[in-house]
Amino acid sequence: MYEIPACADGSLRDLLNLPPGPADLGAVIDALPCDMNARYLPLDKTAPELCSDLSATGVDTVQDALTVLCERTGGGCPTLVSSSGHLRTLLQQFAQSPEQDLWLCVRAGDYDLGGGLQIDAKRSLRISGAGAASVSISLTSGESFMARSPALAVTADQVILEGLFFRFTTGKSHLLLNAEDVKIEGCSRLATATCSSASVCSTRAATAPGEILPAWSATTR
């Protein structure tokens, strides 16, 4: 026989539903290789470095913690965006930092990105939305289309936009993508003012430097 100690609530004994007191040692040992998984590994809630998300009530096991982290990161996406200010701040920080790659996952909602954002000399930028029917991003250009002052201008080796709805709030609003590899998948757009120049555009540096293409299908440089 084995005397199972009366451990604290949330302990391995508690999670494996082993009552304190005398028990058959074989049954205790069998519970480890047969029943043990992340659902039965307790989280150390006393650790000072534990972030607030994992300190919350109900996050008691390693499996609970993994679930919280997956929800926070969008199931693998490094950064989850949930507000207009957050989206603009992240893009501004990326533009000013030495980081070469950024992948943003945008939750369902309406986002007002404004304009005047420029990102240069990057390796990759990927913005993934929950779907064009649920993620709307509004863009506003302050200058004329012909003056080539886009709401968002990106120069990178690769740019990926997926699952997004772009709303161009002025007739001159546009998005300028200058990249070797441009992928636009599951996206749609709407120009709220009457002007055919409101569009997603790309430059083709190899054939016509600085040329703006008023077309949805972006071409590579």
- Which range has the top average pLDDT, 121-135, 144-158, 160-174, 206-220? 121-135
Query: Does residue 27 sit within a domain?
Result: yes
Q: Are residues 159 and 133 in the same domain?
A: yes
Q: Are residues 108 and 174 in the same domain?
A: yes
Closest CA to 199 of 175, 164, 163, 169: 175
Pairing of the two strands 2-4 and 79-81: unpaired
Percent of the chain at pLDDT exceeding 70: 66
Q: 175 falls in which pLDDT band (50, 70, 90)?
A: confident
Cβ–Cβ under 8 Å, residues 218 and 177: yes
Q: Are residues 50 and 133 in the same domain?
A: no
Q: Are residues 117 and 26 in the same domain?
A: no
Q: 196 falls in which pLDDT band (50, 70, 90)?
A: very low
Q: Which helix (H) or strand (E) holds 147?
A: none
Q: Are residues 84 and 181 in the same domain?
A: yes
Cβ–Cβ under 8 Å, residues 105 and 86: no
Give the range of the structural domain holding residue 86, as residue numbers without chain letter: 79-202
Query: Does residue 4 sit within a domain?
Result: no
Question: What is the predicted pLDDT for the residue at 158?
Answer: 92
Residues in the chain, how many? 221
Q: What is the pTM assigned to this prediction?
A: 0.58
pLDDT tens, position by position, 31-88 = 666 667 777 778 888 887 777 778 888 888 888 888 877 766 555 677 889 899 999 9
Query: Does residue 185 sit within a domain?
Result: yes
Residue 212 has pLDDT above 50, yes or no: no
Q: Are residues 47 and 135 in the same domain?
A: no
Q: Are residues 57 and 166 in the same domain?
A: no
Query: Does residue 92 sit within a domain?
Result: yes
